[in-house]
Structure formats: C-alpha cells, structure tokens
Structure 1
C-alpha cells in the first residue's frame, strides 16, 4: 500500500541519506545523480562505483563523464563558485566493479561502506543487444548477484532499487502485466532456465576457445553468437534482455528485510523539461531514424507506423510511431538540414517504411542481394577484379540484415505494458504540490505530454544538438 505523499516528502526522504549508485556514468545514472544533488543538497553522500585503476582515475572519470556534462549546468549556476566544493563534499568515488564479489573492495572498505549505506541504486548494465555472452552475463547477472549479497551486509539499508528493462517481456503481444520473473521461468513453452548451467556453459566455451588458441576476433564472434543462441532458445530476442531477465531472477535471492524495487524502463529518449529540454547522450533506437533522415542516408526503416512506440506506458496516452514520423517530416521541412558538400540545403526524400520483416527481406533481396549476386558472378568471371568492392558491399549488406533482426522485436513490438504499480504511485502524489514553485519537478504522468510537440520541439532538436557529429 502506497501512502499519500507530496514532492516535499520525496525530497525529504533523501535528506541525510548515503546512497550507493552503480552505473552513474550512463545516461540514466547522470540524470539521477544530478536530480538528487539539485533537489536535495542535504543528501549526506553519493557513493559512485566507478571502474578505474585507482582513486585518481575514478575521480577523473566522474569529473569528465558526469560533472562536466551539460546536464549539470543548472546545478553549477545554483551553487556558483561553491560548486566544486559542493561536489567534493557530496560525491565519493569508489574504485570497483559489480562483476566482482564485494565489488573488488578490500574488507576495510567494504565494512565502512556497508555501515553507511541507506539506499542502493543498481543502474550498471551492458545494453548492447549483441554483446558477448560472457560479458553480458558478468554485468547483468552476476553483477546483480553481487549487489544483492552486499545489500544483506548493510544494517541501515532502507531500499534496494534495481534498473531492469521493460523488454524482459520478450516479444509478447497484448497487455503485458507487471509481475516478477520467477527463477527458471522462460518465455518459450517447454523450456526451463538454469542460471548455474548457463554460467558453466560460458566457462566451458571459454576453455575450449583457449585450448584451440582461437584468435581474439574469432573468440569474440563465438561468444556473441552463443549469447544470441541461448537467448532465442529460451524465447528472448537478444543477449541484452535475456541477461537482464536472469538479473531479475537473482533478486529472488534477497531476504525481504527491506523494500526491493525493480523498475523497467522502455524506450529511453531525451529529458522532457528539466534540468534541460532535450538533453541526451548516445544514439538510442529511434534516434538512428532522426540522424539518418537529417543526413539523408537512411532511405528505409523497419517499423509499423500504427504500432505503439514505447516511450511510455502503452495504456496511458500512447504514442504511435506515426507521430514520430510526422514530427520528423515537419521538423526537417521547417528546418532543412545542410547536407551538401558546399553546405547547400538538399531536397528531402521520403522514407520508405516496412511493417513486416517479410516485406523488408523481399525488398532487400531485390534491391541489394540480387545486384550483389550479379557482382559476385562478374567478379568470378573477371578473376577477382571486383573482390574488394564485393566484399565491402557484402559486409554492409550482412550488417544491415543483422541490425534489422536485432531491432525488429522493438520496432515491430505488439505488446502493451501495464503500469498499474506506477499508476498507484501517481495517484499517491498530491497534484497540488508537484512543482513547488519551480524548486523541483516530480510530475511523471504521460497523460499531460503532447507527443507531437515533444518530438518536434524537444527531442529532435536535442538529438541534433547533443549527439550529432
């Protein structure tokens, strides 16, 4: 049962708290760190677990990869000349990695840290769909296990929050309820997942690669293919969501002596209102369309425009992909990109969309595969004159087909995420104190978002400003 609360009570919760945050150098991690420091300057300490060889290197990473980013400009203006002192006082770098037991900390460090922590936020993850199986397993599965083990050693712990992904649901259709993933549960009927067996399989494969003296490139390819094979064997589309699902299963190992929260973000886009409009880092799934259209290098895209784009719950103010395309077309007609060699504005071409993988494959076969096959035959007849050209074009074709296979589960996703738990939280928030005269902002109701205006006025300009070369 969620009790009634307001923005002041949310902010007050963090006063005097020590918080361990993993994944702070990632997009969501930066947003979280900035938000806490901005709305609650009386937080006791933010311990940021950073992969680095030593403390100085960790401190440098925090400075260059977190504090120096544009999202901290508002906080810098707020504190002025005291900003650096404020950061020094509130942020504590921890050299470590969740892939190791106790994060690689020595007993003294571990003891001191465990006594001080009130809240743990685990945002560390590898989000590469086609990641090596061993790497993804280390971070997304064993990393969660190590977080859980540490949590049990913290006598003051008030909450453990784990960031997962909505797509642990796989490629289900219809209404997808919010429910825990049970240990061993899979999506594919007739299969059962044993995490220990998966770990042993990884170890055996690595030993075989070592015994056969495989080249690093070949080993990397083998481990990537193994991850995809195992994911699809159990019903998940890629290694990322498969290992994130196993990570959620690891949460079952925790004794319920404190609240455990799992949040499942769907598609990540730019910041909506604060601290900056449209701030983001990295090119996310839908942003490749924005960049490609701006450069006029993306003539087609695999997406059903009538399907819901999961930038929020599909049940509350849904946003179909057609809204993104409409906003995109309108934005670049109003603001034509300069893509010519001499900076001249070029005529925008219409993008072709494919609403099924079958039609996409047919198009690719006639448009690209057939000419490639003709080039291959000509190359054979001319004793390999066009070998370099053929190999390069063939590589690009295979890469494009691989990308389509990886992204199709998202751009052709036919599920709708239920957000009953989030709705209960929304109802618990007092609407009369969401903004607190501009001091902080906690209104997270998508019902009030005009998606077309957001994409046109906020997100597309943000993509072009913060991610374009």
Structure 2
C-alpha cells in the first residue's frame, strides 16, 4: 500500500462533504484548508431551506467556531475571500434523491467536478425517531451511493459509520462487513425496503388516529428500539448505521468505497490545537454531570475497556484511507479507528482522572461557589441498579431529604410527575446498558496497515498521525481533554 504525498493528493481536488456542520466535518475541513490551500473546492452539504440559510450556517456553525482561529490568524483580512473561494456551501438533505439539491445546474456541475465524496451526515442519537434515523442513516446512504455512481471522475467514496454496529458482541470485533439482510441474532426477514414500509404504515396509522406530534415522536422512538432489538441490535442508532453499511456493500457497484468505523470520539489531540471539542459526547456527559455535582453514582463495570480516540486522529485516518484507495476499482475496505487493542484504557482510569481534576479545579456554579466532588458510587450490575432505584423511589415518595440527590437535580423540570421521572431514567439506562457493560475490543488490523503505509511511504510523515500508542492517557485527559470540555462544552 503506497500513500505518497498528502499535499500532492489534495492539490486541485474537489471534495464533497455531507453533514457539513458536524463535529468531524468541521475538523476535516479545517485540516484540508490548513495543510493544502491549493485544494480546488470543498462542497459542504448542509441541511437548510435555501442558499441564504446555508450561508448563515456556514458562518455561524462552521467557520465561526474557535476551531478556525489559526486559519483566521494566517489569512487575516483575506480570510473571508479565501473561504469564499475554497468552500461552496450547498443546501440539501441526504434523505432525498440527488441529496435534496434543488438546483439541477449545480447538481450537474458537482457530478462533473467531484473527486472525493465523504459521507458524514447522520443522526447519532441512540433514541432517535425511527423514521428520522432510517431516513438519514440508511436511506440517506442509498442516495449518497446513487449520487457517487453518477460522479464522472470520482476516485473514492468514504462512508463514516461507527464501530458499535457490532451490537453487544464480546471479545475481539473484527473489521468485517455486513451482507444485506444479515442480523446479529440470526433472525431472518430483515429488508430495508420493508423497514421503510413499517415506518410509513405506522405513521399513517398514528395520523389516522389523530395522534399528537408528541405521541407520534414517542411512538416512533419506541418503534425504532423494537425493530433494532428484533434483529439483535441494542438501539436505533447502531441498527440504522449497520443497515447503512449494508447499502454501501450492496449498491456501490464499481465505485471504490471504504467504510470508517470510529469508536468514541473525543477532543482533538494536537491539531489544529489540543482539546477542541463540540457537543456533549458519550463520556463527556459523565464528566459534565460529575463536575456539576449531579452525577454521584455510575452504572457499569469499571474494569471494562472504554475505547476512545481523539477526533483529529479519526480525520487523519480518513485522509490516509482515501489516499490509499483512490481509483482502485473495485474495492471495499473497513477501517476501525480506535484504541482498545493498541492502547487500552479502563473506566476506572476515567473515574480517577475526573476525581483528581475536579478536586483540584472545581467547577464554579452559578452562585459563584466551587462544587465539591467526591467518590462516585459504583453499581456493577443491573440488579444493584434496580435495588438502588427502588430505594431512591421510596425515599422520594416520602419526601425525605437525600444526601445523594443526583436524579432529583438532574431531571428537575423535565417531568413534573415523579413516576414519569423514574420511567425516563429507566429508559435511558435501558438504552445505554449495552455500553455500560461493554466487554469487547475492536480489531484494527486494516487501520494498522494504513499506519505502516504512512510510516514507510508517506512523504509528509508527521501530517497524518493516527497511532493511539503515542497517547499518554493520563496526560491527555488531565491536560488536554478535560480542560477542553470545560472550556468549550461546560455552560
């Protein structure tokens, strides 16, 4: 596998990026513009009603972020003109044909111009409405592949999935793909078109009954969980992402396509600067709740390996993979980008880092007082969690003052009825349970081959770093990641 020069590969390239306002998309765009300003064009597809709205999202949700400060300093007063020349923002929607682009002239121009198509558009909500998740994560992939097959000079299609399409399997998870209709539990009958019919029939039934928007949302969320578990997946998100992978494998034809499966993505390790983050991601929600005194217990196995990988390493792996596979036809490869094999870290380490950091640098609450954190109560089984909840429930009913009021504070104002509060907590635990007791690591043999190729054949050897073995986790969490989420995520 030969990589050659990053700068040469990107020179005069036109790249279409779906999900242009997403976390990874922004980091990818910033990286490309910073290392190779001679890129021809970055087409960013964003959900917007019209071009004016799309431009507004570009300035407010992409280049307006602190992530682009190095580029702003480099170009100064010429930054705006540079962005206008290099970025073309396009209103669209991947859940529709032609990616929802209404301008037929623009569509034809893009089809003739694009060299690389990077599909980052998705909904990552575990508890998403099934119609929404199916439309974006599965049917949206179909429309992306259909679009890619029309691109005249396309060199590679990169589809970003998630390592957790593996479901609840344990042990070593290989970089294997899914055949169309394959399920995790051996259940037969999985058909993507049938899933769409199930959604349509349910929506028509609900509307004919005069169901409210709220009731429809709840029903569609329940339907997603039900359909996912019917075929062995734990939630709607990973189920629809797995079907998206099936679509790539089934429909790509001669298009050179590859799938990137990141694990839990964390703040940047090094570029454009350490610690940039956006949005409360999986493990960050624990840190936020803990620092603010709202998380006083943890459900899970502290000895379990938690697979995390910095966002800039994921982006570098994406670029290396697209370089390696450009114009190699036909080809399909899967790259799992994580750390659990090369440099594992446990939940117990995260617990220790959080306690030490926020003990030394406590969060200051709205009253100007430091929040004193303590050791977290660890519940290591679902049985212990149910006993804990029953205990809390009895005390809450009696109106007694609790020393551990995590649930009261965290869900205050969300539900006015106590029973609904408890049901809400139970639903969240039910959805996240597979990851709290996750007992697997992700093989990354294909990704390791990419790293070897980068070490031996990449001209700019330091430009595409994505080896997790170089990470000192204590230093990263204590000096980069936690300070980063405090700066960019805490409100």
Q: Give the number of equivalent residue pairs.
A: 448
Match of 1:249 in 2: 246
Residue 426 (structure 2) pairs with residue 401 (structure 1): yes
User: Does structure 2 retain, via aligned residues, the 8 Å contact 1:148–1:254?
Assistant: yes
Q: CA deviation at 1:152?
A: 0.8
Deviation string, structure 1 residues 223-269 (Cα, Å, up to 9, x no partner): 11000000011111110110001111111233442321100111111
Q: Distance in 2 between matches of 1:189 and 1:256?
A: 27
Match of 2:78 in 1: 82
SS in 1 for 2:356: helix
Q: Distance in 2 between matches of 1:407 and 1:307?
A: 15
Residue 490 (structure 2) pairs with residue 468 (structure 1): yes
Q: Distance in 1 between matches of 2:433 and 2:163?
A: 16
Deviation string, structure 1 residues 104-141 (Cα, Å, up to 9, x no partner): 23432221210111100000001111111101111111
**Unaligned residue ranges in structure 2 (runs of 5+):** 309-337, 400-412
1:75-154 alignment, distance < 5 Å: 75-105=71-101, 106-154=103-151
Deviation string, structure 1 residues 169-222 (Cα, Å, up to 9, x no partner): 001000010011110000012334111111111111111112111111111111
TM-score (norm 2): 0.88
Between 121-130 and 351-360, the greater mean CA deviation after superposition: 351-360
Deviation string, structure 1 residues 386-427 (Cα, Å, up to 9, x no partner): xx9995332222222211112221221111110010000001
Q: CA deviation at 1:153?
A: 0.6
Match of 1:294 in 2: 291
Distance change (3 Å), C-alpha of 1:468 and 1:417: same
User: Does structure 2 retain, via aligned residues, the 8 Å contact 1:174–1:416?
Assistant: yes
Match of 2:37 in 1: 41
Residue 395 (structure 2) pairs with residue 371 (structure 1): yes
TM-score (norm 1): 0.92
Q: Distance in 1 between matches of 2:372 and 2:43?
A: 51
User: Does structure 2 retain, via aligned residues, the 8 Å contact 1:336–1:345?
Assistant: yes
Q: Distance in 1 between matches of 2:207 and 2:414?
A: 34
Alignment counterpart, residue 343 of structure 1, candidates 339, 358, 368? 368
Distance change (3 Å), C-alpha of 1:297 and 1:75: same
SS in 2 for 1:190: coil
Alignment counterpart, residue 204 of structure 1, candidates 192, 201, 204? 201
Residue 218 (structure 2) pairs with residue 221 (structure 1): yes
Alignment counterpart, residue 64 of structure 1, candidates 40, 60, 63? 60
Residue 343 (structure 2) pairs with residue 317 (structure 1): yes
Q: Distance in 1 between matches of 2:182 and 2:62?
A: 37
User: Does structure 1 retain, via aligned residues, the 8 Å contact 2:179–2:250?
Assistant: no
User: Does structure 2 retain, via aligned residues, the 8 Å contact 1:434–1:441?
Assistant: no
Q: CA deviation at 1:364?
A: 1.2
Deviation string, structure 1 residues 342-365 (Cα, Å, up to 9, x no partner): 423343222112222222122111
Query: Alpha carbon RMSD of aligned pairs, Å?
Result: 1.9
User: Does structure 1 retain, via aligned residues, the 8 Å contact 2:269–2:476?
Assistant: yes
Deviation string, structure 1 residues 369-401 (Cα, Å, up to 9, x no partner): 3335667xxxxxxxxxxxx99953322222222
Q: Distance in 2 between matches of 1:405 and 1:50?
A: 32
Residue 46 (structure 2) pairs with residue 50 (structure 1): yes
Q: CA deviation at 1:330?
A: 1.2
Q: Distance in 2 between matches of 1:262 and 1:390?
A: 40
User: Does structure 1 retain, via aligned residues, the 8 Å contact 2:359–2:372?
Assistant: no
Distance change (3 Å), C-alpha of 1:434 and 1:334: farther
Distance change (3 Å), C-alpha of 1:389 and 1:423: closer
Q: Distance in 2 between matches of 1:231 and 1:126?
A: 15
Q: CA deviation at 1:435?
A: 6.6
Q: CA deviation at 1:17?
A: 0.7
User: Does structure 2 retain, via aligned residues, the 8 Å contact 1:162–1:262?
Assistant: yes
Q: Distance in 2 between matches of 1:346 and 1:115?
A: 57
Match of 1:383 in 2: none
Q: Distance in 2 between matches of 1:54 and 1:110?
A: 15
Q: CA deviation at 1:321?
A: 1.1
Q: Distance in 2 between matches of 1:276 and 1:405?
A: 37
Alignment counterpart, residue 440 of structure 2, candidates 415, 418, 424? 415
Q: Distance in 2 between matches of 1:331 and 1:189?
A: 46
Distance change (3 Å), C-alpha of 1:181 and 1:82: same
Match of 2:255 in 1: 258
Q: Distance in 2 between matches of 1:409 and 1:431?
A: 39
Distance change (3 Å), C-alpha of 1:356 and 1:191: farther
**Unaligned residue ranges in structure 1 (runs of 5+):** 376-387
Residue 476 (structure 2) pairs with residue 450 (structure 1): no
Distance change (3 Å), C-alpha of 1:406 and 1:342: same
Distance change (3 Å), C-alpha of 1:91 and 1:393: same
